């Protein structure tokens, strides 16, 4: 799933769908009342890998899944792990987009090689990754893949490096950074570096 752009419209629910949702709401309410005592005493097993508040947020849904039985407990835990991980990855990815936009803005360029972009991002706070690993072209490509962005070969004088053009990022910038301030390549801020240390 991708974040909706401000210029993308949403199709409203039809009258038929609203009627069906109303019936579903009544069914859910009836089931909840019938199972309220069991839900109150439920202690879902945490096999999701989440801790603290992250798991607390999923606790009620896992309790409902356990009470429903069947395939729901397993399905709910898979959804919990997948969605929670995705949210963390996306948050790190958005920070990376902010850094990349800052590099393009400060350089005034419309294209940049993978090597140059990696160096520029790493120099934003003038330090290496917490695990002392540099941001490599591969790790950068892996981080940008969920946004549908990948390196291409382009001509730069006599060179034909692999890299990125600003045009590739425009949709992601609008979709994810619409409300974010433009970042300067010399600004001191929390780097995306650490989040890529496990890639």
pTM above 0.85, yes or no: no
CA atoms within a 13 Å half-sphere pointing along the CA-CB vector of 28:
8
Q: Which parts of the chain sit beneath pLDDT 50?
A: 89, 126-131, 179-199
d(CA 173, CA 92): 14
Task: Classify residue 181 as left (phi > 0), alpha (psi -120 to 50) or beta.
Answer: beta
Q: Whats the size of the chain, residue-wise?
A: 199
What span, in angstroms and rounded, lies between the C-alpha atoms of 80 and 49?
A: 9
- In this prediction, residue 100 carries a pLDDT of 93
DSSP per residue, 45-110: ---SS--HHHHHHHHHHHHHHHHH-TTHHHHHHHHHHHHHHHHHHHHHHHHHHHHHHHHHHHH--S
CB count within 10 Å of CB 87 equals 11
What pLDDT is stored for residue 194 in this prediction?
A: 45
pLDDT of residue 11: 84
Residue 132: the pLDDT is 55
pLDDT confidence of residue 196: 47
C-alpha to C-alpha distances, 6 to 3, 10, 87, 173, 186, nearest whole angstrom: 10, 10, 20, 12, 29
């Amino acid at each position: 799933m991708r974040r909706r752009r401000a210029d993308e419209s949403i199709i409203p629910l039809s009258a038929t769908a609203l009627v069906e949702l109303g019936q579903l709401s009544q069914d859910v309410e009836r089931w909840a009342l019938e199972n309220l005592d069991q839900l109150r005493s439920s202690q879902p097993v945490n096999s999701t890998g989440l801790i603290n508040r992250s798991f607390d947020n999923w606790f009620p849904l896992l309790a409902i899944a356990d009470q429903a039985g069947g395939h729901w407990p397993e399905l709910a835990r898979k959804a919990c792990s997948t969605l929670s991980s995705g949210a963390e990855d996306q948050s790190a990815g958005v920070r990376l987009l902010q850094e990349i936009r800052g590099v393009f803005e400060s350089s005034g360029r419309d294209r940049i090689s993978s090597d140059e972009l990696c160096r520029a991002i790493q120099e934003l706070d003038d330090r290496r990754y917490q695990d002392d690993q540099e941001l490599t072209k591969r790790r950068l490509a892996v981080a940008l893949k969920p946004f549908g962005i990948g390196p291409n070969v382009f001509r730069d004088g006599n060179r034909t490096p692999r890299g990125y053009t600003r045009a590739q990022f425009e949709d992601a910038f609008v979709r994810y950074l619409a409300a974010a301030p433009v970042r300067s390549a010399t600004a001191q801020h929390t780097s995306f570096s650490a989040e890529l240390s496990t890639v």
